[in-house]
Structure 1
Amino acid sequence: MVKNWGDSVRRLVPPFQGTALVGWLAPLAVAIFGGILRFVRLGEPKAVVFDETYYAKDAYSLLKYGVERSMLGDSKNPIADKRLITGNLDIFKQCPQPDDCASFVAHPPLGKWMIGVGEWLFGMTPFGWRFMAALVGTLSILILARVARRMTRSTLLGCLGGLLLALDGLHLVLSRTALLDIFLMFWVLAGFACLVTDRDWARGRLVDRYERAAITERGPKLGWRPWRIAAGVCLGAACAVKWSGIFFLIAFALMSVMWDMGARRALGLREPYRGGLAHDVPGAFAALAIAPAVTFVASWSGWFAGANGWGRNWDQATSSGPAFFVVDSVRSWVQYQLQVLGYHSGLHEYHPYMSEPWQWPLLLRPVSFHYPTGLPPSACGANECSQAVLGVGTPALWYAAALALIGLIVWYVSNRDWRAGAVLLAFAAGWLPWFYYAIADNRTMYLFYMIPVVPFMVLALVLVAGQALGKQNAPAGRRAVGAAAVGAFALIVLINFWWISPVLTAETISHAEWWARMLMRSWVTVAPK
């Protein structure tokens, strides 16, 4: 039996610094600040920006028909783009038969359904199709601040994490654009946050049940774990936005099980690993395999419910009774998923802003989302004007994060700190798989594929900042130096963000001012005039 129940709780679940009220109000204030940056001028530019040409219209099609439907115009839909901007919503092809308009799409529907919520609330306008991206971008700041607080037990460090995420340029751009990647990032981060909360919850219950019951050498069963089920739903939702969510799902499932075994070992149980296998793995399978699968399939409800989806074979499915309907529908759906897999494996189309994974942490090749030509000089009061949306991270933050991640490797090897290990695992799950596609498949890829790992880059910085500040009982001079260093870094990130913000949010500035903000020649496709 545990001799001192209180000491065991504090060892397995350390207390938080400060009050619970401040632990909510301070992160909320940081999230509101980030929300202002994301919602102000959200409807600008009044244009279909980059891949909004696909997702904004697919979302509208889901609202109208339940599935994605073919649009007017060619593959990039310029005719439909022009109609949307002028408020003309007649953007779908006219088809004699519903099957003639079925559209093959490369990504699952959940992210487009989420975009569609904004269109339903605010109309088919730039503000409407960007609303949900801005909302989940803002909510992700709050989640990051809260999970950083939980990992460090410090509200100050939690708010630092939220602030840094709010000041990241790539996060800002994707929060103001109707692309899928911000939704992928949101669900991955939400799933991670649920698992960190489950870690505390499970450890507290482990100590409580060990103290109050006759326990075998493997330890007690923990029963119902709602936070881990919530994590499974969130990670299933990530996969239902983009298939790349599967990398995080696998990594986080293994991480959660290892946390369980580590908790049993830390409590001093004689057979912690057998206990984890017997008591924790079955529940983990239900929460982190079955729940994500159900969530993923449920996101395709519109496809299952109607006759107009790609490859639906509705007439065949409805020809021989309910059982055959289910079997044939599943068979058609699986065939569709295989077609999507083949599409992604063969995606080699050249794009002027494509890049390789090794370039991403160094910001060597960001993506130009919007850069109209022919702006009149009167627009900015100079001979030449520019209006840009450049998908690029805040350089000061990204370069410091690269160093912080290297520092975490050293920290984890020397101390086996679970927080360093979790951040490194999440970063690896979101970055390293793309090297396979770059080497074996030569796939077309872009810098913004990094957005799901940006919160974990921020968490790396937060953990290093915590080391710089030192423990609560550290000498005052030591903590003062650490606080000055952390404060100076946050100020540098803020200034750097402020400097590049005009080219993140389509402000109209002179061509000279735009060029001054291009850190490297590789950020543009043409030489300056």
Structure 2
Amino acid sequence: MSSDSAGAAPRSTAPPQSDSHAATSQPPQTGPAPTRLDRLWGRALGTPARLRAWEIGAPAAVVLLAAVLRFVNLGWPNSLVFDESYYVKDALAMSGLGYEATWPDGANDQVNAGVTSGYLTEPEFAVHPPLGKWIISLGFLVWGRADPFGWRFAVAVCGVLVVLLTYLIARHLFGSVVLAAIAGLLLAVDGQAITISRTAILDGPLTLFCLAGVGAVLLDRRWLRRRWGERMPGGPYPRPWARPWLISAAVLFGLACGIKWSGVWFLLGFTFFVVFTEVRARRRRAKEVVEPVGVGERAGLVERADGVGRVAVGGILTAALMFVVAGVAYLSTWAGWFATSGGSDRSWAQQPGNAWTAPFAWVPAVIQSFVHHHIAMYQFNVGLSIPHGYQANPLTWLLYTQPLSMYTRTTSVSGGGVGACGASVCHETAWLMANPVIWWASVAALVVVLVRFVLRRDWRLGVILLGVAAGYLPWLLFLNRTVFQFYSIVFEPYLVLGLALVLGMILGRRTDPPRVRMFGVGAVGVFLLLCLAVSAFFYPLWVAAPAVTDGFIDLHLWLTSWRWE
């Protein structure tokens, strides 16, 4: 815990002045700590060197733990699991041809046996954009194409970076190393985050780019505050194209769309956040009285720059710039499709009867084919409704009633023998599900965050709620589509941020009555230990190692809906 107001919810809408001077990371200037524990902690961080070591050591420890849980034995299971059957094979073909290609029957067995060049030249209809598969292929450069470790390496890196970004965003929002470390720790040990990171599918990279885009939006807000509010008080509002973090956010959201189209909801949601906060800031500044400095028209300049018309135009320009930059970034992910001639629908417009007629006959054939391919992708994704044993209705996601078994191998020893698990029948299973304690506590905390936001209108809480909304609410429009619980990974970091905030409220401040303070510290400590214990308990089922018995599996089936065949 920190030496003073560890974890207390933010009381103002202004971001911390400096992370190195966060109130929860240095001893206060008003009197001794009221509890012995706080006094000891204050002494432990009593010098700048120790404080700096804590600020560096806490995230380093969290990231190291995340890396260990994701990289150790990453090559197991040593075969394609679940949707790796699509994305690893697509990545293999793309690394050789530049586009997704079809594979012959029995291709999974060939790839599992190390034969990774058996793809054909005919295009495979890809239902998602290419970037996620290009990211998977990066692992081939380091570990080779035939090694399952190489298939998953790049996605595991994305998973570790998600934990790091969650820590950094929490530090930015809350100004507390303690709360940031708690947020990073909870995501580091969560089963859904671990299993997604250890599987070569698209949702891990998607989560990273969406989260990085949100982080860039927050940095843009801080950049504006420092440049416009402190260095240039009363000056003209910076042009959107002169804001480096805004451009970075748009690029990252565009790249997220280049992994899965669901990234567009983060682009829309956080573009709204940027424009809304910008308009509020400019209208607020327009009402301020600025004293003349050197030039007697200084006050008039502020009023003209922030008039109603200019504010509206400024907001429109900001939104338009974000969409244009994101669109360019998205198009760049299709470079392989444009550069080759064999991709899915690449030559559609050249086929008899397909080319557009007047008034659009002038459109280049490659653009016509590109648009047609996107229409086909859209129709597939919207209309996908194939019954699946593990599909989960989005209405039940927050309850986490339907996890998914990605891999199961059962071995048995006849004649009364004993297998590796100590019984005659042993199972190795990779179960894609969250730590239930972390998940359910995060959902409960989300309610607290929502109520607190309604009462206080704190923009930090709005960021958390917007992250959840962008990742979750759009799926409620597709209740008839075949979807899975693990799609929720894209908004899980924001759930964890909300949980960290509520745990900070329970921790309280060093100025609280000693009994209240010690109760809060004890309650949070017990909760974190419980989360770690549950993660250790479920870990063998998340990574398919070691082999376990039927009885061990039964102990983990807390809900009847968790059972799988």
Structures share fold, TM-score greater than 0.5: yes
2:501 to 463, 477, 484: 463
| Counterpart AA for 1:405 | L
Q: 1:471 to 1:418 in 2, by over 3 A?
A: farther
Q: 1:325 to 1:187 in 2, by over 3 A?
A: farther
Single out whichever of 345-354 and 54-63 deviates more from structure 2.
Answer: 345-354
**Alpha-carbon contact 1:205-1:222 (below 8 Å) kept:** no
**Alpha-carbon contact 2:13-2:458 (below 8 Å) kept:** no
Quick one: distance in 2 between partners of 1:443 and 1:104?
19
**Alpha-carbon contact 1:111-1:241 (below 8 Å) kept:** yes
Structure 1 segment 406-485 matched on structure 2, within 5 A: 406-438=447-479, 442-471=480-509, 473-485=511-523
Alignment partner, residue 169 of structure 1: 191
Residue 136 (structure 1) shift = 0.6
Structure 1 segment 102-113 matched on structure 2, within 5 A: 102-113=123-134
2:342 to 308, 331, 345: 308
Quick one: distance in 2 between partners of 1:332 and 1:295?
19
Q: 1:406 to 1:273 in 2, by over 3 A?
A: farther
Alignment partner, residue 510 of structure 1: 549
Cα-Cα RMSD: 2.5
Quick one: distance in 1 between partners of 2:477 and 2:222?
35
Quick one: distance in 2 between partners of 1:277 and 1:471?
42
Alignment partner, residue 57 of structure 1: 89
Alignment partner, residue 41 of structure 1: 73
Quick one: distance in 2 between partners of 1:14 and 1:453?
25
Residue 29 (structure 1) shift = 2.1
**Alpha-carbon contact 2:283-2:311 (below 8 Å) kept:** no
Quick one: distance in 2 between partners of 1:414 and 1:202?
26
Alignment partner, residue 47 of structure 2: none
Single out whichever of 234-243 and 372-381 deviates more from structure 2.
Answer: 372-381
Q: 1:372 to 1:11 in 2, by over 3 A?
A: closer
Structure 1 segment 13-32 matched on structure 2, within 5 A: 13-15=15-17, 16=19, 17=22, 18=25, 22-32=54-64
1:244 partner SS:
helix
**Alignment identity in percent?**
35
1:493 to 523, 531, 535: 531
Alignment partner, residue 141 of structure 1: 163
Alignment partner, residue 354 of structure 1: 391
Alignment partner, residue 338 of structure 1: 375
Structure 2: tracts of 5 or more residues without a match: 1-11, 26-50, 289-302, 352-360
Once the two structures are superposed, residues 290-324 of structure 1 have per-residue CA deviations (whole angstroms, 9 ceiling, x without a partner) of 1110111110000000111111118949xxxxxx9
**Alpha-carbon contact 2:104-2:118 (below 8 Å) kept:** yes
Residue 468 (structure 1) shift = 2.0
Alignment partner, residue 384 of structure 1: 425
2:152 to 103, 121, 130: 130
Quick one: distance in 1 between partners of 2:244 and 2:512?
37
1:311 partner SS:
coil
Q: 1:42 to 1:206 in 2, by over 3 A?
A: same
2:205 to 179, 183, 191: 183
1:244 to 256, 262, 266: 262
Residue 267 (structure 1) shift = 5.2
Q: 1:499 to 1:416 in 2, by over 3 A?
A: same
Alignment partner, residue 437 of structure 2: 396
Once the two structures are superposed, residues 194-245 of structure 1 have per-residue CA deviations (whole angstroms, 9 ceiling, x without a partner) of 11111111112121254374x6xxx665772111111111111111100111
**Alpha-carbon contact 2:136-2:152 (below 8 Å) kept:** yes
Q: 1:266 to 1:471 in 2, by over 3 A?
A: farther
Quick one: distance in 2 between partners of 1:222 and 1:154?
30
**Alpha-carbon contact 1:133-1:175 (below 8 Å) kept:** yes
Residue 11 (structure 1) shift = 7.2
Alignment partner, residue 110 of structure 2: 83
Q: 1:292 to 1:382 in 2, by over 3 A?
A: same
Once the two structures are superposed, residues 84-120 of structure 1 have per-residue CA deviations (whole angstroms, 9 ceiling, x without a partner) of 1211224223xxxx5xx11101000000000000022
Pair 1:121 & 2:142 matched: yes
Residue 349 (structure 1) shift = 0.9
| Counterpart AA for 1:164 | L
Once the two structures are superposed, residues 457-476 of structure 1 have per-residue CA deviations (whole angstroms, 9 ceiling, x without a partner) of 10110111222233465455
Query: Larger C-alpha radius of gyration, 1 or 2?
Result: 2
Quick one: distance in 2 between partners of 1:455 and 1:242?
18
Single out whichever of 494-503 and 20-29 deviates more from structure 2.
Answer: 20-29
Quick one: distance in 2 between partners of 1:427 and 1:328?
40
Q: 1:478 to 1:268 in 2, by over 3 A?
A: farther
Residue 525 (structure 1) shift = 3.1
**Alpha-carbon contact 1:353-1:366 (below 8 Å) kept:** yes
TM-score normalised by length of structure 2: 0.83
Quick one: distance in 2 between partners of 1:121 and 1:35?
17
Q: 1:471 to 1:269 in 2, by over 3 A?
A: farther
Pair 1:156 & 2:178 matched: yes
**Alpha-carbon contact 2:240-2:318 (below 8 Å) kept:** no
1:386 partner SS:
strand
Residue 325 (structure 1) shift = 10
**Alpha-carbon contact 1:354-1:365 (below 8 Å) kept:** yes
Residue 149 (structure 1) shift = 0.5
Alignment partner, residue 229 of structure 1: 247
Residue 23 (structure 1) shift = 3.5
Quick one: distance in 2 between partners of 1:267 and 1:153?
26
Q: 1:488 to 1:265 in 2, by over 3 A?
A: farther
Quick one: distance in 2 between partners of 1:299 and 1:415?
41
Quick one: distance in 1 between partners of 2:328 and 2:447?
37
Quick one: distance in 2 between partners of 1:21 and 1:256?
34
| Counterpart AA for 1:88 | V
**Alpha-carbon contact 1:396-1:496 (below 8 Å) kept:** yes
Structure 1 segment 358-369 matched on structure 2, within 5 A: 358-369=395-406
Alignment partner, residue 522 of structure 1: 561
Quick one: distance in 1 between partners of 2:517 and 2:115?
60
Q: 1:246 to 1:170 in 2, by over 3 A?
A: same
**Alpha-carbon contact 2:405-2:564 (below 8 Å) kept:** no
